[in-house]
Amino acid sequence: MSPDIARPVTTPFPVLQARRVSKWFGEVIAVNDSSLTVGPGVTGLLGLNGAGKTTLFKLLSGLIEPSQGEVLIFGQRLRREVGLFRRIGFCPESEAMHDWLTGREFVSLMLRLMGVPGPEIAPRTAAALDRVHLADAADRRIGSYSKGMRQKIKMAQALVHDPDIIFLDEPLNGMDPVARHEIIALVKQLGAAGKTVLVSSHILPEIEEMTRNIVLIHHGKVLAEGDVTEIRDKIHDHPTIVALSAPEPRRLASFLAGRELVMGVELDERGRVVARTDHAVAFYRALPGWLLAEKLAVDEIETLDDSLQAVFDYLVGD
């Protein structure tokens, strides 16, 4: 099919699926009986150093094979169908690269390995370099690149063949704030375009800037996957704390205290009503109806502990 007459793709299979995957290195188990499904959009793969994040990332991207279980891309096993790699873009964590090549040579080499026809190599390479804001440095040797530029050239080679699934391993390492902003915007743009983007990081604010959808791994097990708020709602040991700024805080507090979904209410030093609930999603669904029925006004609602950090801390027990 010509790239000019591209077609939308649908499949009855999940884009990326791991089924009861385990991986041992000798007697050390790096990933233990983990299952997950990743769909279109940006998903953050989170975990502390040594949690098994990198191993899971490599398993999902087909670079290593599980000791048990299977990883499927569009319902097929990667290593049995090497052609599937054309639909994958992989951006490794390591900065070590082909230093003797220029950025343009490197990206075009990687594109040629995808089997892209010759006439398309130059325009696609130029477009990928432009996309990561490296067009000006494209003809310099990679050896002269800064750390941030190396990250960008790795991104370029991962995106140059327009893959469906993009694996980004710690993509913001070593980037300055401007470059970080550019790459975060690019990742969000890819997710919004329907690409499946899996971003691995141990820096929570980085992930938080890109997505609310996460896979959390700890001690080799997938602890949670899904939207951060939904995951947060399922953590019953730690009630969700919601702060509401209202013109009539005491009347609001009194009303909320009588609701079943609310476990406790108090006023904080800023005069806000602080409510605790075990069922944040149900609470948020019910709140507008309550306010309308009671003619209560609320200026601002803030969830105090559904940040990725809080969810992460609750789940890993730190």
Partner 1 sequence: MPVYERGYRHWEPSGRREAAPWWVIARRGILAPLRTRRFLALLLLAWVPAVVKGVILYFSFQAGDLMKLLGGSWSAVDAPGFFAFLEKQRGFVLIVLAIIGTPLVARDRSENGLALYFARPLTLRDYVLGKLLIVLFYFLIVTLAPVLLLALFGYLVTSGATGLDMLLLTPLRATVYCLLVGTSLGLVLLALSAAGRRTVFIAMSWLLLFAGSALVAKILALFGGPWMKLLDFPAQYEHAGSLLFGAKAPLEYPRLISCLLIAGYTVGAWAVLRRRIRPVEVVS
Question: Which residues are at the interface with partner 1 (CB under 8 A)?
Answer: 1-3, 6-15, 23-26, 39-40, 61-65, 67, 79, 82-88, 90, 92, 94, 96-100, 109-110, 112-118, 121, 157, 161-162, 164, 167, 193-195
C-alpha 300, offset from chain centre: 28
- CB nearer to partner 1: pick between 134 and 235: 134
- CB nearer to partner 1: pick between 1 and 293: 1
Backbone angles phi, psi at 73, to 5 degrees: -115, 120
What is the DSSP code (8-state) at residue 312? H
- CB nearer to partner 1: pick between 24 and 284: 24
- CB nearer to partner 1: pick between 44 and 62: 62
> CB of residue 154 vs partner 1: minimum separation in angstroms?
8
- CB nearer to partner 1: pick between 108 and 240: 108
Identify whether the C-beta of residue 306 lies closer than 8 Å to the C-beta of residue 238: no
256's enclosing H/E stretch is: helix 249-257
Q: Of 69, 65, 78, 82, give the one whose Cα is nearest residue 16.
A: 78
Backbone angles phi, psi at 241, to 5 degrees: -110, 125
Question: 3-class DSSP state for residue 59?
Answer: helix
Q: Beta partners for 209?
A: none
Q: Of 108, 110, 109, 102, give the one whose Cα is nearest residue 138.
A: 102
> CB of residue 96 vs partner 1: minimum separation in angstroms?
4
> CB of residue 105 vs partner 1: minimum separation in angstroms?
8
Which positions ≥6 away from 318 have C-beta within 8 Å?
Answer: 312
> Token pair for residue 124?
């696609």
- CB nearer to partner 1: pick between 40 and 103: 40
- CB nearer to partner 1: pick between 123 and 177: 123
Identify whether the C-beta of residue 138 lies closer than 8 Å to the C-beta of residue 108: no
- CB nearer to partner 1: pick between 185 and 193: 193
Question: 3-class DSSP state for residue 268?
Answer: coil
> CB of residue 241 vs partner 1: minimum separation in angstroms?
34
Alpha-carbon dihedral of residues 184, 35, 194, 88, nearest 10 degrees? 80
> CB of residue 149 vs partner 1: minimum separation in angstroms?
16
> CB of residue 217 vs partner 1: minimum separation in angstroms?
19
Whole-angstrom distance, CA of residue 217 vs CA of residue 212: 16
